[in-house]
């Protein structure tokens, strides 16, 4: 078989796997969405109040904290994975949590990775709101809380973009979750492929393992789903950026 | 006449730069008082202090008979509104922009609806309710800002060069609105301006501010016919270039 035929066969088989809703593929997709979605939700709940506090409250070391957040935006995932792993292994300081090689550990790693991203981009969106808007709220009799709400409303499209950027990064991330999640699937094959339903196997980690096993069609199927998810996130992000 | 503001020996510095020097002034309820002076003499700073957006470095500010230093800032600010040279526009509809001051006062929807429609009619923007505020022209946006400022019936409106960036047609409309607000609502209006002609058209009393110092306060007629201070004379004659 030539290289074109080999690729074509892989792609056809990949679409068959997707459209037949293969349980192995679907379980991996579900784990990916659950882990990344939960991490994004938790990171958003942390990042937006944090961005508001940084914007509205003057505190000692504020500039250093902003530098820390900006540095966090570029954290290497494998380093975060290693750090979280060392914290949660049975002999680590948080070993008692017993979460190593679980979805919770993966959520924690992704939370650490994307919280600075959502905070940093939200902070930029909030800072772009003209001071005049905030002063107008005060001149109309508003309180500090009213000013914060008005600022969030004005920065809403930028903040949504920040959340989507975080979600996109989480979905595409592989290094950290591979270390703390272990890329585990249950034993036994389902639908004729893979090793069984996913426990901590995500689209990205599954692509690495399936490719290394030589199962190209499964890798391509997982890749197509991953690209579609990331594409949807980016289409949404572009939509909100245009509206801003 | 009853005093709305009493300002006593008020000064303001930013770092080492003294912006306002020892200002003492009384502003009466229902009047149009203008602070006249060239750009950069502290007019905006004085307005911002009256609105409690800035605190004076020294001196006393009494609003409605009470020292603002001991009053709750929000309670005082809630009874005034301020318009800036460039109107702040919330990224939403004209209706929601104008309704903002009523919504934060937790008024019911029916009352808000009536008041917003009345305010928009007063500024000549009836029918603009559902338009996106960011699509308004400069003059329309400033008129919307006026509607937003008057809709909750403040005791005083502070205007910081409200026509500085507008064409003559819009300037005329804004001046008409200012006079309407005073005559129909009885609101006290304090306006900062460098435009002598506009001050002649609108003001009851005028204070001339030069280099952070209030050099003369008098009725419009007195200021423009018999100014006392030589610097006032020079400014009104146009000898002070700005």
Whole-angstrom distance, CA of residue B162 vs CA of residue B178: 10
CATH code at position A7: 1.10.3720.10
Minimum Cα–Cα distance from B75: chain A residue: A141
Give the residue-averaged pLDDT of A65-78: 93
Point out the residue among B81, B86, B158 whose CB comes nearest to the CB of A140: B81
Supply the pLDDT for residue A39. 97
What percent of chain A lies above the pLDDT cut of 90?
69
Supply the pLDDT for residue B131. 95
Mutation for A interface: B81, B88, B133, most A CBs within 10 A: B88
Q: How far is B206 from chain A (nearest CA, A)?
A: 23
Supply the pLDDT for residue A37. 96
Q: Is the minimum CB–CB distance between B152 and chain A shorter than 8 Å?
A: yes
Backbone angles phi, psi at B232, to 5 degrees: -65, -45
Supply the pLDDT for residue A236. 86
Cα–chain center distance at B43:
10
Cα–chain center distance at A109:
10
Q: b/e per residue, A177-216, with b = 16+ CB within 10 A? A: bbbbbbbbbeeeebbebbbbbbbbbbbbbbbbbbeeeebb
At A183 the three-state DSSP class reads coil
Question: What homologous superfamily is domain B3-88+155-237 in, according to CATH?
Answer: P-loop containing nucleotide triphosphate hydrolases (3.40.50.300)
Tell me the pLDDT of chain A averaged across its residues: 90
Minimum Cα–Cα distance from A145: chain B residue: B104
Give the residue-averaged pLDDT of A156-172: 93
In this structure, of A60-69, A179-188, A201-210, the range with the lowest mean pLDDT score is A179-188
Cα–chain center distance at B29:
14
Whole-angstrom distance, CA of residue A10 vs CA of residue A214: 11
pLDDT in tens, B159-212: 999 998 888 988 999 999 999 889 888 999 999 999 999 999 999 999 999 989
Name the band, by pLDDT with cuts 50, 70 and 90, for residue A189: low
In this structure, of A19-23, A65-69, B115-119, B173-177, the range with the lowest mean pLDDT score is A19-23
- In the DSSP assignment, the letter for residue A34 is H
* Contact yes or no for A22/A191 (Cβ under 8 A): yes
Whole-angstrom distance, CA of residue B10 vs CA of residue B22: 5
Q: A-chain residues within 8 Å CB-CB of B92?
A: 153
Give the residue-averaged pLDDT of B76-96: 90
Q: How far is B176 from chain A (nearest CA, A)?
A: 22
Supply the pLDDT for residue A190. 61
Please name which of B180, B176, B170 lies closest in space to residue B150, comparing C-alpha atoms: B180
Q: What is the DSSP string of B80-126?
A: EEEE-SS----SSBHHHHHHHHHHTTT--HHHHHHHHHHHHHHTT-T
Q: Is the minimum CB–CB distance between B90 and chain A shorter than 8 Å?
A: yes
Whole-angstrom distance, CA of residue B142 vs CA of residue B32: 19
pTM of the model: 0.80
Mutation for A interface: B75, B81, B91, most A CBs within 10 A: B91
Write out the H or E segment, with its range, that includes residue B159: strand B156-160
In this structure, of A42-56, A186-200, B114-128, the range with the lowest mean pLDDT score is A186-200
Q: How far is B146 from chain A (nearest CA, A)?
A: 11
For residue B204, give every residue at least 6 positions away whose Cβ sits within 8 Å of its Cβ, in sequence order, or none: B31, B32, B33, B219, B220
For chain A, the residue count is 244
Minimum Cα–Cα distance from B100: chain A residue: A140
What percent of chain A lies above the pLDDT cut of 70?
95
Cβ-based contacts under 8 A for chains A and B: 51
Q: How far is A138 from chain B (nearest CA, A)?
A: 7
Name the band, by pLDDT with cuts 50, 70 and 90, for residue A174: very high
Q: Is the minimum CB–CB distance between B148 and chain A shorter than 8 Å?
A: yes
Point out the residue among B88, B92, B100 whose CB comes nearest to the CB of A132: B88
Give the residue-averaged pLDDT of B76-86: 87
Q: Which two tokens stand for residue B107?
A: 């008024």
Supply the pLDDT for residue A153. 92
Supply the pLDDT for residue A71. 93
* Contact yes or no for B75/B52 (Cβ under 8 A): no
Mutation for B interface: A128, A137, A140, A148, most B CBs within 10 A: A140
Whole-angstrom distance, CA of residue A175 vs CA of residue B181: 65
The answer to whether the Cβ–Cβ distance between B105 and A138 falls below 8 Å is: no
The answer to whether the Cβ–Cβ distance between B152 and A130 falls below 8 Å is: no
pLDDT in tens, A202-222: 999 999 999 998 888 889 989
In the sheet where B58-63 sits, what is the strand order? B17-28, B3-14, B58-63, B66-67
Name the band, by pLDDT with cuts 50, 70 and 90, for residue B241: low
Given the DSSP bridges, would you call strands B156-160 and B188-193 parallel, antiparallel or unpaired?
A: parallel
In this structure, of A92-101, B148-157, B230-239, the range with the lowest mean pLDDT score is B230-239
Q: A-chain residues within 8 Å CB-CB of B148?
A: 140
Residue ranges per domain, chain B? 3-88+155-237
The answer to whether the Cβ–Cβ distance between A133 and B51 falls below 8 Å is: no
The answer to whether the Cβ–Cβ distance between A136 and B91 falls below 8 Å is: no
Residue A52 has pLDDT above 60, yes or no: yes
Supply the pLDDT for residue A191. 61
Supply the pLDDT for residue B240. 65
Assembly ipTM: 0.86
Give the residue-averaged pLDDT of B87-104: 94
The number of distinct structural domains making up chain A is: 1
Q: B-chain residues within 8 Å CB-CB of A133?
A: 88, 90
pLDDT in tens, A111-138: 999 999 999 999 999 999 999 999 999 9
Supply the pLDDT for residue B233. 87
Supply the pLDDT for residue B56. 92
Please name which of A128, A110, A105, A103 lies closest in space to residue A198, comparing C-alpha atoms: A103
Mutation for B interface: A132, A138, A141, most B CBs within 10 A: A141
Supply the pLDDT for residue A195. 66
Residue B238 has pLDDT above 90, yes or no: no
Point out the residue among B74, B88, B105 whose CB comes nearest to the CB of A133: B88
Q: Is the minimum CB–CB distance between B77 and chain A shorter than 8 Å?
A: yes
Residue A70 has pLDDT above 80, yes or no: yes
Given the DSSP bridges, would you call strands B58-63 and B66-67 parallel, antiparallel or unpaired?
A: antiparallel
- In the DSSP assignment, the letter for residue A155 is T
Whole-angstrom distance, CA of residue A75 vs CA of residue B135: 41
Provide the residue range defining the domain that includes A100: 3-243
Residue B228 has pLDDT above 70, yes or no: yes
Supply the pLDDT for residue A217. 87
Selected residue with higher pLDDT from B95 and B72: B95
Supply the pLDDT for residue A80. 95
* Contact yes or no for B203/B217 (Cβ under 8 A): no
Minimum Cα–Cα distance from A130: chain B residue: B88
């Amino acid at each position: 078989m030539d290289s074109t035929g080999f690729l074509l066969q892989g792609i056809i088989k990949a679409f068959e796997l997707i459209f037949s809703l293969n349980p192995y593929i679907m379980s991996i997709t579900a784990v990916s969405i659950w882990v990344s979605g939960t991490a994004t939700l938790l990171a958003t709940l942390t990042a937006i109040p944090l961005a508001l506090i940084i914007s509205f409250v003057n505190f000692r070391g504020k500039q250093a904290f902003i530098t820390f957040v900006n540095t966090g935006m570029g954290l290497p995932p494998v380093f975060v994975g290693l750090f979280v792993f060392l914290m949660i292994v049975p002999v680590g300081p948080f070993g008692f949590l017993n979460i190593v090689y679980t979805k919770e550990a993966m959520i924690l790693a992704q939370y650490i990775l994307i919280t600075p991203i959502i905070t940093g981009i939200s902070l930029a969106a909030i800072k772009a709101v003209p001071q005049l808007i905030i002063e107008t709220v005060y001149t109309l009799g508003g309180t500090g809380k009213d000013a914060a709400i008005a600022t969030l409303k004005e920065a809403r499209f930028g903040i949504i973009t920040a959340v989507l950027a975080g979600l996109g990064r989480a979905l595409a991330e592989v290094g950290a979750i591979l270390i703390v999640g272990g890329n585990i699937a249950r034993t036994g094959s389902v639908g004729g492929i893979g090793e069984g339903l996913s426990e901590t196997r995500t689209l990205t980690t599954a692509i690495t393992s399936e490719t290394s096993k030589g199962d190209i069609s499964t890798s391509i199927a997982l890749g197509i789903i991953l690209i579609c998810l990331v594409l949807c996130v980016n289409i949404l992000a572009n939509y909100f950026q245009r509206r801003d | 006449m009853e005093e709305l503001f009493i300002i006593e020996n008020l000064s303001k510095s930013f770092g080492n730069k003294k912006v306002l020097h020892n200002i003492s002034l009384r502003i009466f309820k229902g009047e149009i008082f203008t602070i006249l002076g060239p750009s950069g003499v502290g007019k905006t700073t004085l307005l911002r202090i009256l609105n409690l957006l800035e605190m004076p470095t020294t001196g006393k500010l009494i609003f409605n008979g009470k020292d603002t230093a001991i009053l709750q800032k929000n309670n005082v600010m809630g009874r005034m509104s301020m318009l800036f040279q460039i109107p702040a526009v919330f990224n939403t509809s004209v209706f929601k922009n104008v309704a903002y001051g009523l919504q934060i006062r937790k008024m019911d929807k029916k009352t808000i609806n009536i008041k917003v429609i009345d305010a928009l009619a007063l500024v000549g923007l009836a029918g603009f309710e559902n338009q996106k505020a960011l699509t308004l022209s400069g003059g329309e946006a400033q008129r919307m800002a006026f509607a937003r400022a008057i809709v909750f019936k403040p005791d005083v409106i502070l205007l910081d060069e409200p026509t500085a960036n507008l064409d003559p047609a819009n300037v005329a409309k804004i001046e008409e609105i200012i006079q309407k607000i005073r005559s129909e609502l009885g609101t006290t209006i304090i306006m900062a301006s460098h435009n002598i002609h506009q001050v002649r058209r609108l003001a009851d009393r005028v204070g001339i501010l030069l280099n952070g110092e209030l050099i003369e306060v008098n009725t419009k007629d007195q200021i423009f016919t018999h100014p006392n201070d030589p610097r006032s004379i020079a400014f009104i004659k146009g000898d002070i270039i700005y």
